[in-house]
């Protein structure tokens, strides 16, 4: 009889396991206060050196991920947007939108090494592509991408994108996927030829911003502002295979391949957390309450924590409350 009861209990536990995993939730852990009252944009993580980079006005705040304490500031720029990490050359790269430049710095000392002028307007999103060992800076006002050699610290090429670029992601195998916000489409860039080799319409997605990649299943996850949805795209065909409702004002999208979770950080004070059941099947498992306009995000795969930057705003305005800028930290429960 005991064996029978134990067997039934084990069977129930086994059958409940998917639901238990599906029900995993995130909770608020802490806020890391940072100085300054300027605007903010992308966050980026250096997995090797265990640092979180936070764009903030004319500066980048640097946080030690193991202690979750500020350890430095990179400043002197005109309008920071994104940060790319190239561990191979021990260099980081900051897109300085108002400075029309990419700023290179040392990953160990945080010292600025060189300001690299680019022949484009509005440097914004920026990523490092390990396949080509190059940095791609996406220029929102020029509809192109400036290509930087992280070793010589010079611009070595330009990619014509055919529209206004938003976030981009590398597959590490020779292709970069980049959203065009004004075209509601997805570019496929060949990093060898520096050409767009495919452009996929994303309907019903409108106004795509953030993008993440599941390289194993050949799926891209695209956050879309106009229809408040996350589109799942088969990158081998360009077909949108699923659209999942999310919060309003999405910006960043992150994929946790180990636990099959997709995170969409939204400006409406939520982060939508989605479970990947299969390559084409998804369900929302949590609408995490964050803070209004906490729309940019980074994910630490070592701790599974997510980080969102945001200041407080005066009620009903876009005016920042002085000395309120911070990084919000959320952890799995």
Distance between CA atoms of 104 and 92, rounded to whole angstroms?
6
Q: Look at strands 261-266 and 268-278 and give their pairing.
A: antiparallel
Q: What does the pLDDT profile of the chain (333 residues) look like in tens digits?
A: 434 444 433 443 334 444 444 456 999 999 999 999 999 999 999 999 999 999 999 999 999 999 999 999 999 999 999 999 999 999 999 999 999 999 999 999 999 999 999 999 999 999 999 999 999 999 999 999 999 999 999 999 999 999 999 999 999 999 999 999 999 999 999 999 999 999 999 999 999 999 999 999 999 999 999 999 999 999 999 999 999 999 999 999 999 999 999 999 999 999 999 999 999 999 999 999 999 999 999 999 999 999 999 999 999 899 999 999 999 999 999
Residue 295 CB neighbour total at 10 angstroms: 30
For 229-286, the DSSP string reads EEEEEETTTTEEEEEEE--SSEEEEEEETTTTEEEEEETEEEEEEEEEEETTEEEEEE
Question: In order of start, what are the domains of the chain with their CATH numbers?
Answer: 25-38+203-333 (2.130.10.10), 76-201 (2.130.10.10)
- Two tokens, residue 16: 């409940």
Contact partners, residue 226, CB within 8 Å, separation at least 6: 184, 205, 206, 207
Residue corresponding to tokens 């059958």: 15
pTM of the shown model:
0.92
């Amino acid at each position: 009889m005991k064996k029978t009861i134990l067997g039934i209990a084990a069977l129930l536990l086994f059958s409940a396991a998917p639901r238990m995993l599906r029900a995993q939730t995130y909770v608020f852990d802490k806020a890391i206060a940072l100085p300054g009252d300027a605007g903010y944009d992308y966050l980026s993580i250096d997995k090797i050196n265990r640092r979180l980079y936070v764009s903030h006005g004319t500066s980048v705040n640097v946080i030690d991920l193991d202690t979750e304490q500020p350890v430095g500031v990179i400043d002197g720029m005109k309008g920071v947007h994104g940060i790319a990490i190239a561990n191979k050359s021990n260099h980081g790269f900051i897109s300085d939108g108002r400075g029309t430049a990419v700023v290179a710095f040392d990953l160990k000392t945080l010292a600025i090494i060189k300001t690299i002028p680019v022949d484009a307007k509005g440097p914004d999103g920026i990523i490092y592509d390990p396949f080509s060992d190059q940095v791609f800076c996406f220029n929102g006002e020029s509809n192109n991408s400036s290509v930087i050699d992280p070793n010589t610290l010079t611009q070595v090429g330009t990619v014509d994108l055919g529209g206004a670029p938003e976030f981009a992601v590398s597959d590490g195998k020779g292709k970069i996927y980049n959203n065009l916000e004004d075209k509601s489409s997805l570019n496929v860039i060949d990093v060898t030829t520096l050409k767009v080799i495919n452009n996929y319409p994303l309907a019903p997605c409108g106004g795509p911003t953030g993008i993440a990649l599941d390289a194993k299943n050949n799926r891209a996850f695209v956050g879309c502002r106009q229809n408040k949805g996350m589109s799942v795209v088969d990158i081998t065909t360009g077909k949108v295979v699923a659209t999942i409702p999310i919060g309003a004002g999405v910006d960043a999208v992150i994929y946790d391949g180990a636990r099959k979770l997709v995170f969409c950080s939204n400006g409406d004070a939520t982060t939508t957390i989605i479970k990947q059941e299969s390559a084409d099947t998804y369900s929302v498992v949590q609408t995490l309450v964050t803070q209004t306009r906490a729309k940019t995000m980074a994910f630490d795969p070592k701790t599974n924590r997510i980080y969102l930057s945001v200041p407080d705003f005066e009620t009903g305005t876009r005016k920042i409350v002085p000395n309120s800028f911070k990084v919000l930290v959320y952890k799995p429960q």
